[in-house]
Structure 1
């Protein structure tokens, strides 16, 4: 059974200090800079910051975070804790704090709701009287919350630099250009069954612009929980699907539905026709955008083999954003909510190797000490952008709300929000 682990933050600090880390830890991390406050990277050359996405190119137009006042960067953990709890108590029901599964424990402890991006957007809808929604997650999540929120509610992202490298891999200009090229191949006439040539499907992990694109073009949004149901919806209406931005979720889902891998060409937006021939595109069932999650790309078949060698009774569960060979080698694949529920339902004494973000894995290990739970990747490498949310930023935006000032508000223009809402409503209607 798992000995109680330190939080990811505390473990990284011990590794940086050269001190013995938590029981069972391998005491290594992918980036020593993770031990520094994220405000250090807000002021340096723009990158996603240390962590899993540190090598991904950051778009020039990506949101930047301004200077965090020194009173927050210099404050101790205990001082920030006092200030956050005091601000929350003062604000009461006028504010709701949402915390994504991948957030650090030091932030999640203040959340009124914890879940995945769509669960949290729906959770916010249960608090229509709250004047502010503080979303401790990443930019696309705050956008979705704003689309679904009441017009009177302000959605706040504590650190504007908390983006998503996967979401940034498909931008509206590139998708519009791809759509035009595909139209030149397919035309616009429906087949004998009334199905249009192609339906756009975007993963929840995408910008509001792309959700709006799907809403305008007969498409739909999916989550990792309902991707198969959404693809069924799309195949009923279209001869094929353009799936973006995550190639792995699209490939793994469609393959499980019986779509041959050879009928799922990868679209490279830097090449004519995405790098395929017109014949290959005509034969395609799912066209996969060349995007990926850098957290889930770290998991490998070799890691699964090592876990099985060390723990013959292990159950390996991975997120469907992992590459196809990893999903094929695992015992199960599913969303963060699927992973949480699988562990909660397991008999005492079970052993799990999990392929998803380290903050969630270590939190589950502490929540279920009757099991042995560990991350497939033995290197501590959290999501770069989730890690940009820090208690210092949370204290800053909450205390500003106490003073009547709204900071870091995320507002999706109506011209984008309205068609995006259409695509989200289609997703809501497509229940598994």
Structure 2
């Protein structure tokens, strides 16, 4: 069998699930959940579709789900409704007997794909020649297990948008400079908020394999990997301007994966949890334009009928990779678990896990 044929056979949704009605699938998912009880745990990221999130045992952002996965020692099977790097993190943090399943292996992250291990090692070798032993590597959890392991091996840490400030502060207490992977925007916004000027930040271009900086290299304090979130980068200053001109009373609330210019122009910026809490605790009749993933924005609109909420970009689409997990794929994963087949199991090897857990532990200790 050719590799491509194997991948198609392993990851392609069986035809029978395409013929089921929504009612049939909902009924079957409920049956399996009831039957398996505590043996089954379904974490769901906030960006998931409603048809999936309705069955989540817990919902949260990356940090919350990492903590909840680590804390759950009862479940034998963790069907993770998120994307690949999240399921990898769950596999690394949970016990050996627990099996982590991703309903659709195509549910990846374009940002995580912007930094592979070969590029990162080449970057590190070049930076060590230029700056010596003066750099701490930090990686956003939106990165592969291999990148997390690299960071762990080099005495660094993972970060989330919820604790990026704490982790950047920690890193600067360790060494003079940081390398921030793979999201340049979160790195720039966080460092700027901590007082690092933009002219002390450089860009590492993994395609050209070189540092992009026009000044004196000795002034560099932050090296930002040239990566981004394909969703959050689509919120622009034009969107902010249009919102201000349309309704000056509408507050603008964005995620720090947005560009520095957008974050500076917004009224508030913060993690997914921050955004949810900000809206939940806001006054009735308050007006908001939110710059984050569309499934979450729609859910906030539905859950807060007493507030006037819109997307900052009215033409924004949901995260395409996160949306690959739907009700048919969830049911397929659950029926496979029930049969003991473990389709789409996520397994991170021991050495990668050992190194990556060092970086994850450093993050979780500051949560």
The bucket for the TM-score relative to the shorter chain is: over 0.9
Instruction: Measure how far apart 1:65 and its partner are.
Output: 6.0
Q: Distance in 2 between matches of 1:225 and 1:63?
A: 37
Equivalenced residue count is 362
Contact 2:253 2:289 in 1 (8 A): yes
Contact 2:122 2:209 in 1 (8 A): no
Which residue matches 1:111? 56
Instruction: Measure how far apart 1:187 and its partner are.
Output: 2.4
Contact 2:11 2:344 in 1 (8 A): no
> Residue 357 in 1 paired to residue 302 in 2?
no
Which residue matches 2:347? 411
Which of 255, 258, 282 pairs up with 2:218?
A: 282
Partner SS, residue 211 of structure 2: helix
User: How large is the RMSD of aligned CA atoms in angstroms?
Assistant: 1.7
Q: Distance in 2 between matches of 1:417 and 1:73?
A: 36
Q: Map 1:45-194 onto structure 2 (within 5 A).
A: 66-188=11-133
Instruction: Measure how far apart 1:274 and its partner are.
Output: 2.7
TM-score, structure 2 length as denominator?
Answer: 0.95
> Residue 256 in 1 paired to residue 201 in 2?
no
Q: Map 1:3-82 onto structure 2 (within 5 A).
A: 66-82=11-27
Partner SS, residue 202 of structure 1: strand
Alignment deviations for residues 322-344 of structure 1 (CA, whole Å, 9 cap, x no partner): 01110011001000000000011
Q: Distance in 2 between matches of 1:275 and 1:302?
A: 27
Contact 1:63 1:160 in 2 (8 A): no
Instruction: Measure how far apart 1:272 and its partner are.
Output: 4.6
Which residue matches 1:390? 326
Contact 1:65 1:159 in 2 (8 A): no
Which of 150, 153, 173 pairs up with 1:236?
A: 173
Which residue matches 2:278? 342
Instruction: Measure how far apart 1:64 and its partner are.
Output: 9.6
Instruction: Measure how far apart 1:304 and its partner are.
Output: 1.5
Alignment deviations for residues 217-261 of structure 1 (CA, whole Å, 9 cap, x no partner): 011111101111111111111110000000000001111111111
Q: Distance in 1 between matches of 2:132 and 2:318?
A: 44
Flag structure 1 segments of 5+ consecutive residues without an equivalent.
1-44, 46-61, 189-196
Which residue matches 1:39? none
Contact 1:65 1:161 in 2 (8 A): no
Partner SS, residue 267 of structure 1: strand
Instruction: Measure how far apart 1:99 and its partner are.
Output: 0.8
TM-score, structure 1 length as denominator?
Answer: 0.81
Contact 2:10 2:343 in 1 (8 A): no
Contact 1:233 1:430 in 2 (8 A): no
Q: Distance in 2 between matches of 1:187 and 1:330?
A: 38
